[in-house]
Amino acid sequence: MGGVGKTFLMQNVFDRAKGRFNKSIWLSISQTYSLRKLQADMASQIKLQAGEDSQIKSRADDVIYGHVTEVQGAQLIHECLTNRSSLIVLDDVWWATREDNLISALGLPTGNNTHQQNQPPHQLEGIARQVERECVRLPLAVKIVAASLAGEASSREWESKLGQLKAVSYTEDPIMQILKLSYDSLPPYLKPCFAYLSFFPEDAEIEYRYLINLWVAEGYVPQGDDQLGIGWRVVFNTIA
């Protein structure tokens, strides 16, 4: 849906994170776009961040001023970004980028050309690829599964999660199915705290101290001198 704040939220994340990368690029795609214009926009941003690197500036100029074809432009952009840490946001994308080859047409490094971190152990690679396919491009599914398997090296745990994903039916309300998977993955002590949130109206603003006091009254938060601190950790773990 348009107008719900996706771009505003991503712009804030982009502004906070871009300082950690060699290159940070923001592209607005829109429903109908010109590949040449997108390449020129990307090259302009690369040039601005090139510093004293005259070679990168020269390559960027060739793309900006249309001295090369779109295929050559993609190659030059690829050369400018390869072996450099880059944060690239494609905003307002209407169509799946893999289907129309937009990513490769822009020259973005992918696959073996990018520096990938936090890869699963080698023996889990096959299971990881199956898990990826079962997430069927649902961002919520990817986030939930990634969070539950982060740092897990046991093939049994990965196979168990894969089995849960295969049992999920995406034909009837896939979001609720994924939320159920998320709930089932919670530690036992968090489940009643999470379920308690259903007593509040949709989109209601909940003051966390009030919520923690309710949890304390229900016996969900262990008794102790720092129940507010314990409750806050439960809030963080439940929402995260």
17 and 53 co-located in one domain: yes
140 and 181 co-located in one domain: yes
Tens digit of pLDDT for each residue in 94-137? 765 554 578 888 988 765 444 444 455 566 778 888 877 777 66
Pull the structure tokens for residue 111.
């696959």
Using DSSP's 3-state secondary structure scheme, residue 149 falls into helix
Residue 46 domain-assigned (yes or no): yes
224 and 132 co-located in one domain: no
Distance, in Å, from the CA atom of 85 to the CA atom of 90, rounded to the nearest integer, reads: 16
Using DSSP's 3-state secondary structure scheme, residue 18 falls into helix
Last residue of a domain, one of 185, 202, 230: 185
Tens digit of pLDDT for each residue in 27-67? 998 878 889 999 999 999 999 999 889 999 999 999 999 99
108 and 203 co-located in one domain: no
Distance, in Å, from the CA atom of 72 to the CA atom of 80, rounded to the nearest integer, reads: 12
108 and 11 co-located in one domain: yes
Tens digit of pLDDT for each residue in 211-237? 888 888 888 876 766 777 777 777 766
Residue 1 domain-assigned (yes or no): no
Using DSSP's 3-state secondary structure scheme, residue 24 falls into strand
Tell me the mean pLDDT in the region 155-167: 79
Amino acid at position 51, single letter:
G
Domain count, the chain: 3
Radius of gyration of the chain (CA): 23
Pull the structure tokens for residue 158.
């990965």
Q: Facing residues of 24 across strands?
A: 87
Amino acid at position 44, single letter:
S
What pTM does this model have?
A: 0.47
Distance, in Å, from the CA atom of 11 to the CA atom of 91, rounded to the nearest integer, reads: 9
104 and 12 co-located in one domain: yes
204 and 178 co-located in one domain: no
List the domain range (segments joined by +) for residue 171: 120-185
